[in-house]
Amino acid sequence: MYLVVGLGNPGKQYEATRHNMGFDTIDVLVERHNIPQGGVKFNAMYGSGFIGGEKVIFMKPLSFMNLSGGPVQEMAAYFKIDPESQLIIIQDDIDLEPGQLRIRKQGSAGGHNGLKDIIGRLGTQKFMRVKVGVGAKPKGWDLADHVLGRFSGADRKLVDEAIELAADAVEKIITDGPDAAMNEYNRKRVTE
């Protein structure tokens, strides 16, 4: 079984913002696999289904980004998820250009407050993450304003493609393992 968590902020005002790459990727996966809405549990929307014969719980914390750890920790405990081998976090990453993907099996929070809270609540940095690039903040901008902002038209197209690829990457992790997914998706994408 896998717990796939998309990070983001709930509410209409945050839709399509840089910080909601995780939510957007979960939406793609739920649609692709016809996942019924399971309701709300542990302050998170969730649903379950199967990818490649593996049971998967899809989750969107409703606690706001900086407090994502509580819902993730509670859901993981409830379903007896081993973070190291059964947890996949989908997140935005300002250190990657818009449209770039990076899969990691572990690592620090790298300044991402949602990840920082998850690491603090789980007590480990060893869990898989699929990072969707949103680009660095412009010089002189506040980081919160940047990640809560929306993309320009050209970047939006790249990011929409990357969200589909992030969903592909999650499927690949589940069916073929993280190493196979890293080999396929950690290449630098050529953008026009």
The residues annotated as belonging to the active site are 19
Bridge partners, 51 (sequence order): 54
The dihedral built from the CA positions of residue 155, 190, 166 and 106, taken in this order, carries a sign that is: negative
What is the C-alpha to C-alpha distance for residues 25 and 168, in angstroms, rounded to an integer? 10
Q: What is the CA radius of gyration of the chain?
A: 15
Q: Which tokens hold the place of 121? A: 């609540």
Residues 6+ apart with CB under 8 A from 183: none
CB 3 within 8 A of CB 127: no
User: How many other β-carbons are positioned within 10 Å of the β-carbon of residue 14?
Assistant: 17
